[in-house]
Structure formats: C-alpha cells, structure tokens
Structure 1
C-alpha cells in the first residue's frame, strides 16, 4: 500500500526530514537484518543501542555520527581460514544506519563480549526547555481600562 503525501508537503514548510523518514519507513522490507540489534530506552533522555557482532574486534568497526544519522560499519577480511563443515557465524562486512532525532548525541561506544554498546543522550537546548511563567498579582476590575500614554511631540 502506497500513500501519496504530495498534498501534505505542498502546504508545509520545514518538514523535509519527516518526508525522508516516511520514505524510509515505506522501504522497510528492504532493510538488512544483519547484524541483529536492540534499542533500549534507559530513561527519558538516554538510550542504548546494542549490536551483536560476534567475531568483530574494535579495529574492524567504524562508528560515524553525521547530522541525524548514526552509521556503524564493520569490515572483515574475506580470507577464510580453515575448512568449515558448517559456517553459521557471519564473517561479512556490514553497514547499519540509525536515524537519530534532533538533539540526540552519541555519548560513548564500547565493545564487550561480542556486543557493541552505543550510548545516546538527548540534549535539549535551554531555549527549547519548558519554562514556568509567573502569574502577576495585580488586580483589575472590569470597569478599568488600560491607560494610553500619549507622547507630546514639539514641532520646531
């Protein structure tokens, strides 16, 4: 099932990223399944992505964060050592991309027991955080009208 969202985007400004995300969601069946991963919400502003990377070392991996995309690449030598009767552990290169929301930054990445853990944190700028507005205590009655101050301008 395809949706034509052209009328929506003709009347909106600044939602280019949403169009890109919807387009990617439409191609969900083309998403590679290797390597398997988890995305965990630690709390409201912290997340953890864990990728299962058996056989990969730190030197085989590249993690890049550019604009709102986190890319994890793994490059393995295709040289096969030994004679396999069964080969169930993948020994192939991969590239996995994650779309990050605005203001989500990569805090750290570490490898432990074949699992790559990438820590993410949402850093909301002060200007975008909610602010409490104090309510004034000045009382007005319905009969009072605001004073209009007229400026006296002397014409020379």
Structure 2
C-alpha cells in the first residue's frame, strides 16, 4: 500500500518537521500489536498508559524515558524444552517485546506500577512557566508618546 506524500506540506510550513516525522514513523510502526495497551487521559495534564504484560515479573520489565520517547521492554528468558513439554496448549504470549510511545513536549513519567498482570505508567505534562500563555494588560486608554517623553528629559 502506498503512503500519503507529505512533501507539499513540508515545503509550506516552518517548525513542524517533528510533526511530519511522527506521522510517517507511526504509520511504519503499526506492525506488531503485542503487548496490547490502553492510553487514558486522566485530566488536562495527566495521562495513563496501561500495558497487558501477563506472565512478566517486575524485574523482567524495563521502562526508559528519554526526551519525547517512552520505551517499555520486556525480556523473557528462553524456557528449556523440558519446561515446554509440560504445556498442552500455550495461549498466553510469553515472548520478549519492545513498545515505544512518542511523547509530546514537556511530558514526563511520574510513576509506574505492576499489578495483576497490568503495567501502569502515569504521565504528567508540565509546561514551564516561561512557555505558558500570559495575559498582557492594555494601558487604560492613554497613549504614551515615547519620543516626546525622551525629548523632555
């Protein structure tokens, strides 16, 4: 299947390169759906990612947060053939995985927990004070002539 060409949009925008890269990368990374996950918006600036990691212990999971990237890795040791022979049917996936999530600017990992086969990762968006919108007060209808005031001084 042929993808959507974003070249015309790249030419007419400035500073949106990362957005187009995210679109292209997400389209390419839609292959494996293991482990299944949910993404919830808890409040205006709080999010929760929940992964179903049945059969994994906490020491077999690794969570790495870098700038704009959350990576969750599960490493399962290969079981011996004697262990496999005990199962009549294996329906619970017991394989290693790597799942990546692109994070928006100023989103950081707050906490992570493992309970009942679910890995829960809490995320918080913290916009720096300098980046928040500011209300600019308008002077009460008075026009100040800066040139006249400078000459008078």
Instruction: Write out aligned runs for 1:89-128 (5 A).
Output: 89-128=92-131
Partner of 2:4: 3
What are the ranges of 5 or more consecutive residues in structure 1 without an aligned counterpart? none
TM-score by length of 1: 0.84
* DSSP 3-state at the match of 1:42: strand
What are the ranges of 5 or more consecutive residues in structure 2 without an aligned counterpart? none
Partner of 1:46: 46
Instruction: From the superposition, tell whether residues 147 and 34 of structure 1 become closer, same or farther in structure 2 (CA, over 3 Å).
Output: closer
Partner of 1:76: 76
Count of aligned positions? 147
Q: Deviation string for 1:83-134 (max 9, x for gaps)?
A: 1111011110000000100100000111111111100000011112122222
Bigger share in helix: 2
* DSSP 3-state at the match of 2:43: coil
1:42 deviation in Å? 0.4
Q: Residues 78 and 91 of structure 1 are in contact (CA less than 8 Å); yes or no, is this contact kept in structure 2?
A: no
Partner of 1:25: 26
1:135 deviation in Å? 2.9
Q: Give runs of ≥4 in structure 1 deviating > 3 Å.
A: 145-148
